[in-house]
């Protein structure tokens, strides 16, 4: 069975570096890539009644927009000979990436690092650290 690498993607330069890195490894290992764009979302956030009524519509729009960002990158990978699939999903980034990795029995998760290691990074917490602690598969962080 072909190994699967999960790649966290958000359209940023860091994410693109992660994709490039993953593509190079995938070629060597004959693995396939699964790009995941997570839309940060909490089941406990608060909304006005009007937002509740529009939520379903907004969700579709958000997913469409995310798919519009990740799909071309996936297409390009396939064209270059690396087998790749993609999806967009709402949730907590670390949790969603771990869940999808478990679901697809992926061998590792690859993410980019934006480099916010200063005060903001510490204050807000960072995805690489959260993911490293939560993931059940190895995590590769591309600087």
Partner 1 sequence: MLKAIVGAGASLPFMTGLAYAQSDGIDKAISDAIAPIVNPIVSTVFYSVPIFGTNFPLIVGWLVVAALVFTFYFGFIQFRGFKHSVELVRGDYFDPKDAGEVTPFQALATALSGTVGLGNIAGVGVAVYLGGPGATFWMILAGLLGMASKFTECVLGVRYRNEYEDGTVSGGPMYYLSKGLSEDGKATLGKFLAIFFSICCIGGALGGGNMFQANQSFAQISSIIPFFEGKGWLFGLIMAAVVGIVIIGGIKSIARVTEKVVPGMAIIYVGAALVIIIMNIGEVPAAVNAIITGAFAPTAVAGGAIGALIQGFKRAAFSNEAGIGSASIAHSAVVTKHPVTEGYVALLEPFIDTVIICTMTSLVIIITGSWVPDSGVTGIALTSKAFEADIAGFGYILAIAAVLFAFSTMISWSYYGLKAWTYMFGEGKTKELVFKSIFCVFVVIGASMSLGPVIDFSDAMIFAMAIANIIGLYMLMPKVKALLADYHERLASGELKKVK
Give the binding site for partner 1 (CB under 8 A): 39, 41, 43-57, 59-60, 62-63, 89-91, 96, 99
Distance CA 20, CA 39 (A): 22
Distance CA 111, CA 139 (A): 8
The nearer residue to partner 1, 13 or 40, going by C-beta atoms, is 40
CB of 87 to partner 1, least distance (A): 11
Token digits of residue 76: 């390009």
CB of 23 to partner 1, least distance (A): 28
- Which candidate, 99, 101, 93, places its Cα nearest to that of 5? 101
The nearer residue to partner 1, 2 or 48, going by C-beta atoms, is 48
The nearer residue to partner 1, 63 or 107, going by C-beta atoms, is 63
How big is the CA angle at 99 (ends 93 and 104), to the nearest 5 degrees? 125
CB of 49 to partner 1, least distance (A): 4
CB of 97 to partner 1, least distance (A): 13
Query: CB of 110 within 8 A of CB of 51?
Result: no
């Amino acid at each position: 069975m072909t190994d699967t690498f999960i790649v966290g993607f958000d359209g940023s330069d860091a994410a693109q570096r992660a994709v490039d890195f993953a593509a190079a490894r995938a070629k060597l290992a004959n693995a396939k890539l699964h790009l995941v764009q997570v839309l940060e979302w909490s089941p406990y956030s608060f909304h006005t009644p009007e937002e509740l009524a529009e939520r379903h519509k907004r969700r579709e729009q958000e997913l469409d927009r995310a798919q519009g960002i990740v799909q071309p990158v996936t297409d390009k990978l396939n064209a270059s000979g690396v087998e790749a699939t993609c999806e967009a999903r709402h949730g907590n980034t670390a949790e969603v990436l771990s869940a999808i990795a478990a679901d697809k029995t992926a061998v590792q998760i690859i993410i980019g690092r934006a480099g916010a290691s200063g005060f903001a990074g510490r204050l807000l917490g960072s995805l690489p650290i959260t993911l490293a602690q939560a993931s059940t598969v190895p995590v590769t962080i591309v600087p």
